[in-house]
Structure formats: C-alpha cells, structure tokens
Amino acid sequence: METDTERGLKERLESICKGVRWDVVRMIGLAGSGHPGGSLSCVEILVCLYFYKMRHRPSDPQWPERDRFVLSKGHAAPTLYSVLARAGYFPREELWKLRRLGSMLQGHPDMKRTPGVDLSTGSLGQGLSAACGMALGLRIQRNPARVYALIGDGESQEGGIWEAAMLAGHHRLTNLVAFTDYNSLQIDGPCCEIVSLGDISAKWRSFGWEVYEVDGHDVLEICRTLDLADNASSPTMIIAHTVKGKGVSFMENSVEFHGKAPTREEMERALREIEES
C-alpha cells in the first residue's frame, strides 16, 4: 500500500529517472562509445540514493560529513554523471562532452576531475574494497556519514569482491550499504552461462551481511529497503533485480548493448521512446 507521501515521492523519483535515462542515451550516443546497458539498469538505484537517501551537499562536494557513494562498476559512469549534474554538482552542458579530450567526464569515474565523484573506479572488483576502507575510516573518526556502493553481477566474478565481503563482514561495517545491479548479462553473454553466481543472496549472507532482494526498478521498494538498512547490525547488500538496457526497447536484455553506443538514428529513436514513456 502506498501512502500519499509515497505517491508523491514515487512521482518525483520516477520523473528524475526518466530524465537520467534520456541523458544517458544522449551522452553515449554523442560520445559514440560507452556502456548503455549497465548504465540504464542502475538508474533507479542511483536516483534513490542521490535524491532520497544520501546526505550530501552539491555546493560543497568535499563536505566531511557527506555520505559517500562508490560506483564500483565504473562503466556505468554516464548514470552517475547525469545524477550528479541533476543534483547540481556541475552544469548539465558538461554531459554532452563525455569521453572527449579535456572533458571533466572521463570514460570511467575520476574523483580528481569530477565534482561529486567520491572515488575513481573502472578496473572492476576494487570499488567495494575502497568503500570498506571509507567505512573503516569514518568509523575511526566517529564520523556518522554512511558509505554506499554499487557493484555489478558480472563484477562479482572478481575475487576482490569476496575479499571485501569478508573484511566488511568481519568488521561488522554497519555504515556500509552495497547494491548488486543484477541485470544477469555480461559482455560475453548471460552470467549464468559464463560463470554462474549461484545463490548470490546465500553467499552474501554467509559472509555476514544483511541481505535484501528488491525489484531494482521500483523506486519505493528501493527507498524502503535503504531505510531498513539504516538500522542494520551488519553491512547490508541489496540485490537489485534489474533489466539491462531498461527503458529502451531495443536495448533491453541485449548483450550487444553492454558496451556499444547507439547509432545516431538509434539514439533519436531511443530518446523518443523515453520521452513518450
């Protein structure tokens, strides 16, 4: 059951998601390269974080008490950039310079170049470890800020993810909340055919994490789960079941659009679809 407030929240967040999807398709289309599939699958997650959950100040990106976000699956950078621009970290015009020489928006997130990016990522399997480091650092400082991270399902094949899982569980990092963008596809095909993740929830639980499974495109479910995680007695993993390429019919569940930009014609078609949705 949705309350009136929730209905208002849902409308607000979904409207931002629609805008972010439009940005993402246009950014990658204009850049002529990038990763549309895994960028579109995590739109709701990032929008709920930056426009609902996280305490942050776009006018003061280095605010010491801000909640942190680590995009461990760094190839979804366009989604992060659009969200940061819409939150007010930098002008939206910057988005159209993605991946160009001299742009503040690199192919993968760069904390030294882009206001609002808390950690440089791109090489998979490292961001979650760094998020653990942040959570440990904040805990040592008695800083109440929290750390959020997003990993990919394909990325979960990296051993480093499980090294981080073990460390966070051991230290009971209650200030750490991670999402898995479970869109079920990786570059070479379906994850279950390449190297299956098996019972992913059981895996995280066995490492000492509190685990939730959500529909990764249901903003209210994501928000409610994020609220639950505030009171966790261990690190939290939210397995978000998503659709790769979500929101653009010919990109949905397509392996091809993992790392391929739309042509100009495809881009125009995708933008129209998003506008009419």
Partner 1 sequence: MIPDKGTRHTRDAYAEALLELGEKDHRIVVMDADLAKSTQTERFKERFPERFIDCGVAEQNLMATAAGLAATGKIVFASSFAMFATGRAYDQVRNTIAYSCLNVKICASHGGITVGEDGSSHQALEDVALMRLIPGMKVVVPADYYEAREAVKTAAYVDGPFYIRLGRPKFPVLFDEGYRFQLGKALLLRPGKDVTILACGIMVYNSLVAADILAREGVEAEVLNVHTIKPLDEEAILASAAKTGRVVTCEDHSVLGGLGGAVAELLSEKLPVPLKRVGIQDRFGVSGGVEELMEHFGLTPEHVAEAARSLLRRSL
- What's the closest the beta carbon of residue 120 comes to partner 1, in angstroms? 4
φ, ψ of residue 246 to 5 degrees: the values are -50, 130
Q: Which stretch binds partner 1 (CB under 8 A): 33-41, 122-130, 194-202, 203-211?
A: 122-130
Residue with Cβ nearer partner 1 (31 or 164): 164
- What's the closest the beta carbon of residue 117 comes to partner 1, in angstroms? 10
- What's the closest the beta carbon of residue 247 comes to partner 1, in angstroms? 30
Q: Which of 137, 144, 189, 190 binds partner 1 (CB under 8 A)?
A: 137
Chain positions 12 to 71 lying near partner 1, rule: CB under 8 A, are 64, 68, 70
Distance from C-alpha of 144 to C-alpha of 10, rounded to nearest angstrom: 27
- What's the closest the beta carbon of residue 80 comes to partner 1, in angstroms? 15
44: which 2 tokens? 């709701």
- What's the closest the beta carbon of residue 197 comes to partner 1, in angstroms? 19
Q: Which amino acid is at 223?
A: C
Q: Which of 80, 132, 239, 271 binds partner 1 (CB under 8 A)?
A: 132
Q: Which amino acid is at 231?
A: N
DSSP label at residue 76: G
Q: Which runs of consecutive H residues, i.e. helices, occur in 56-158?
A: 77-87, 127-140
Dihedral (C-alpha) 255, 258, 259, 260: value to the nearest 10 degrees?
60
Dihedral (C-alpha) 213, 219, 224, 229: value to the nearest 10 degrees?
60
Tell me if 211 contacts partner 1 by CB under 8 A: no
Q: Which runs of consecutive H residues, i.e. helices, occur in 32-149?
A: 36-40, 43-48, 77-87, 127-140
Tell me if 155 contacts partner 1 by CB under 8 A: no
Interacting residues with partner 1 (CB under 8 A): 64, 68, 70, 110-112, 118-123, 125-127, 129-138, 140-141, 143, 159-160, 163-164, 166-167
